[in-house]
Structure 1
Amino acid sequence: MLSFHSRNELGALIERTGRQVIAGRRAEGAERRFISSGATVAVIDARGATAEAEGACAALAAAAQSAGSALLVIAEDIAGLDRWYDLGATHYVVPPFGEAELRTALAFAERHVERVVGGGRAASQRAALRLAESEAWIWKPGERLVSLSPAFAERIGAVREIVPMSMLFRLMDRPSRRLAREAIDRLLVTGRSTAFAHGSRAQGDRLAHHISFDRERGAVVAWIEVSRGEAEPEREDIDALTGLPTADRIRGWVEARLADEDAPDPRCALLMLGVMRFGLVNAAFGRPTGDAVLQGVARRIERVIDRIGLGNAMIARTAGSEFTIALGPPVSADSAELIANRLVESVAWPFVSGDSLIPLSCRVGITALGGEGRRDVGTLFQRASAALAAAKHGDSGLVRALDADSEAEAHRRNQLEIDLRRALDHDQIDILFQPQVDIGTGRIMGVEALARWKHPQLGELGAVPLFATAARSDFVVQLSTYVQQRALAIASAWPAHMQDIRLAMNVTASDIAQPNFVDDFLDRVDAAGFPRTRLTVEVTESGLISDLAGAADLLAQLRRAGLRIAIDDFGTGYSSLAYLKALPLDYLKIDKTLAEDITGSTRDRIVVRGVIDMARSLGLAVITEGVETKAQLALLAREGCNYYQGFLCSPPIDSQRLQALVAEQEVEAAG
């Protein structure tokens, strides 16, 4: 509630309607205070202060709209309502009015909030989530202990959320303690909301405790407002949803730090934080709850920075679910990484929405500029963005720091991701085939389809970098589908002398996770005209281990449809034994790393022999990859291996050369 001349009287009247009030007289920073409070209705009292109230209404309108809140104006008369409507007010009341009229107006405003956010339960959950992320405390008169909100406990460094009341007073100097006691006593005597303030441990900040008495709980309830030492920004520099500065404002702040000739290097560091898969939160809980979660993330970031005590810093929301933290001197690479890890830990603590927990995770990219590049704001933000992208797509942790060299590598990877999406349209993905040979007869019994990328600048790239690039850009399913369709189309056109050759195609964990995977895959095979009975599906990626039972069921459906199943690259990871136990298999493919030294290493030979014996006991045929010498082949034959694949017969070749190779074998066999 904002009232320029009647704060105490209006606050008392609203409290008599059964509502908790956070009252203020200042219009400066009103939108930020409203967002941070978690309130669902903003009341502006325009009586005797029309100009100030109009400014406050314009400032609060965007914040109220973003939060799905109501904005109720107490207008001086009915004649000016059009003006308040244009400024963004949703409800009004005009004098003369009493408690009953105000109660009704507030009830209408609260119903508006419920409908905007999807019903009373949704509104309640959203409000509870926002309040849970606010800084507050509750104390029952006469008791020694006070209950802190998790956010306030974190700010003051309390390890528990129930602490002695004396701990709160130890945060204050002696004069502030006296004012706090007087405010609490006044509240208990009069029942009217009031406030007191004191300095915080964070340099230049003050904490204002807005206290009221909750008759239902019989307790004093306080909401903490943090007043920072920095000047209040202009309204257009504030993000309406979170109350943080905008991207333009933080860029200006960084530019000023980089231009300071007397500052030590690095003159500025950027931490760019991205919330992972935030769209799923909106899908599961609704947009209003998702917005409340983003507000909670903003408050958590602020508390981490405040608790560390960094005075030379700025936080901004720079994209939908991305935040940027700029750190001025003194800052180092180690301190920036420490802060980033604390941010990751803070965001990962689950948010509470009604009976549900909303878990989040985030990634942080870090970079800094000094020396020759210190004046270039654009470079700093580009590098921070690249660092965040590397953290999101990499497997080296949740935090990624990027210098000039690693930036170049990240840029190269990003460019590859862009190039890959163009490659499918420009027919740059070739399909090669590597023969699989029957060791007993020496004849080619099948081939494995392998993808090759004809990159216009980098030349030919194999399947490993190709699919790694696809994985970083969530493009695996599209690429895999393309490769399968091309391989099936080529194999369907093979001549008569290749009608007995089996085709083996890789299927990834991402493929299997798709809805209707089995039906779509079989439709793809049938549309190409390739016989199901000549097709082998090779299962790759240890990611299947996360849902092995589901994968086994889907592969069993393919097997019943006439296909055969192989486990690829056996021996490269923990998941292999689990695969043998759970999956419906026909073939086991020994990875080339197990077979490459079987002629020189007794240990390797024993391992391969054990794998072949195990496969034979399970009724599986064995294909060994990477066979390059006749000595390897002879040893595998003695151990009972069924088939081999490798350069001893042929490297991966195109369809035309494969046809010629099979025809040549047919001639030799006939002669």
Structure 2
Amino acid sequence: MSSGTPSSPKATGSNRRMVWLWAAIIGLIFGVIEFGQPLEDVLRTTRNAMHARQASGDIVIVAIDNKSLEAHADWPWPRQRHAGLIDELNDLGAAEIAFDIGFSTRTSRADDRELIDAINRAKGKVVLPIRSVKDAITDRRVDILPSPELRRQAALANIYVQYNFQSKVWKLEYAADTDGVTYPSLAAHLADRTGRAGEKYTIDYSTRLDSIPVISAADLLAGKVERGRIAGKRIIIGATATEIAKTYFVPGTGQAPEVYLHVLGAETLRRGTPVELGWLMPLVATLGLLAVYQFVSNRWIARVAVAGGFAIAFILPFAAEARLVFFDSTPAMTALLIVVCNRWWSDFRQSYKARGLTNPVSGLPNLNALREVDTADMTLVVTRVHNFAEITSALAHEAEKILVEQIVARLGIGFAGATFYQGDEGIFAWLVRREGMTELGDQLEALHALCRTPVSVAGVHVDLVVTFGADAGDRALSARIGSALIAADEAKEEGLRWKEFDPAKLKDAAWKLSLLGRIDSAIDSGEMWVAYQPKLDLATRRIIGAEALVRWSHPEKGEISPAEFIPAAEQANRIEKLTAHVLDDAVRAAAAINGRGVDFDIAVNLSARLLDGTDIVDQIRDLLAKHRLPANKLTLEVTESAAMVSSNQSFEVLEQLRAVGVNIAIDDYGTGFSTLEYLKKIPATEIKIDRGFVRMIDRSHSDKLMVNSTIQLAHSLGRKVVAEGVESEEILEALAAMGCDDAQGYLIGRPMKLRALIKQLILEYRKIAA
């Protein structure tokens, strides 16, 4: 026996390679185009908040804040006021005094002189800024230095800040070249760090802004600042007032004045040298671990590998940034999530599918699993334990598994090595190599004998009622399961132990499935036609009417029995169109015959389903008017059993039909269980005795007695009696002797086409005339 699996190891390996390759490609694309940068910024901001730290306190901001502008409203301030700040800070022992305010233009000579003198008195402590702007035309960076007189006794530092599309500043420069001279950035100068011109480092935003010491310039100028807050500190003077400050977006905080960025940059460098690893190294490391995760079969090694990938993407950045090691993790994270999510989803689908392919009680593969097996050159065998539901209902829930195990153990004796599949309600199936059905039959006969021995479950001996079915065809397995079960059921009905499905039945099955769809087209195409069986008046021995019977002449299958298609049409609510076709043809025929001066009645069978509404009443009334047939020339026949189970609505419909004037006949009388009370209640005008009683009256005294009593009873109720199935002269004469009114059967005439009926009527009238 050979079987396949839902996903072979080879297919799984190929899929994992493709997923890993796509993860690598997408990760590289994300890194190159910085697609994940917004997410990277969010993650870094979150990590900064998680390891937030206090500022060193060695760098103090002297803020030209709103309070300072209220006290000294003449902004820009005259340089003598800045000179006052320098002198005050120098007197308080500041280690260094840096400005984040440009002095690139000259003012009055006296004003400039006061600032120059203050810088000279500070004796090299003052740092003046080099501002940089972008040329609007060339987009080149232009540096603006303080005036030559100011910078002779002052150090210079660049305050250039570059922001991204979100106005966020993540990096600052160590230094920049101006006119061939390399000047440090203000942050690097405050931290006493050097670096190459244009080289950048990442700002550590874990330093809390509210921990940076800030002194209002107004308080400093008013002499309200204690020496301890200034002595030995590096001071940076910058604008923080809402009206004048240049602000940037500080991650995790929001908009903040530019001066804070220089302090944060200096605090970063004072802690150490930031290391920037970029995105490629973490991505490569993660892809290596994902390769282990995807392709190493050892489960624990794979778990360790994927845990390492998560550490690189989520845990390592947190630990590294606390030590000023920065790298972008989103490309690696993207690759990781692609591979892991695909793997998890694939495992979930396989697990879900496995649950859908397994019987939850026994753990055996179910019939869904069987449908996925390669069944080439295999015969499907099924067994149905017919009393399985009865057995399991009497056992405890946990005992059902034991029962199944014992059943499978016995099946395994006859078919060692086979995989057994369990369906619902005691169905088991397996596949065997295609071989002679005689050998298979012998095995199933022996297995049936073995299964007759009771099984013991929870101390209870249980008898198994089993039959087997087999299908050695080449159809899809889903279809063969059903056909093998049909064979097993037929084996039980026929008293056999096993049976092979007959493929010839497939043609009949296909025909039955399409039967309903063919009825309408058969009516429209003329395949469905109306035959007429003549009815004889026993008193005058003349043809006085006929029963309209539907017939189906199929061009390929020949004559289709009404017993096959009429019940199907009734069950599928398709009887209305069929009845309308017969009624129209029958009423038209009766009208034509009566129109030639012949007194002729027509009878039509009426389905009980049509008595549930009043549409049939209007339909009959319209047909009679359309063909100009007197209502008393039409008889509607309702079977005895159908009439007995009719609802009150049905009785009302019959009453309405009688009110129209048509006759009502109880067909197949004697096959049901009518009572005298019921016969009195139903508005029938005649009773048709079933052929099963009529054909035996010459040989069965009881049947003769029953027919005779029925005739007398009907006459006493004012009903006419018609005997069906008259096939001999002896029966015809016996019925006449009993007083039966009319007779119908092969002796009088078989069902025939209208032309043949008219011809028979013409011959009869010629005999009478002669």
Tell me the TM-score normalised to structure 1 length.
0.46
- Work out which of the two has the higher radius of gyration on C-alpha atoms and give 1 or 2: 2
Tell me the TM-score normalised to structure 2 length.
0.40
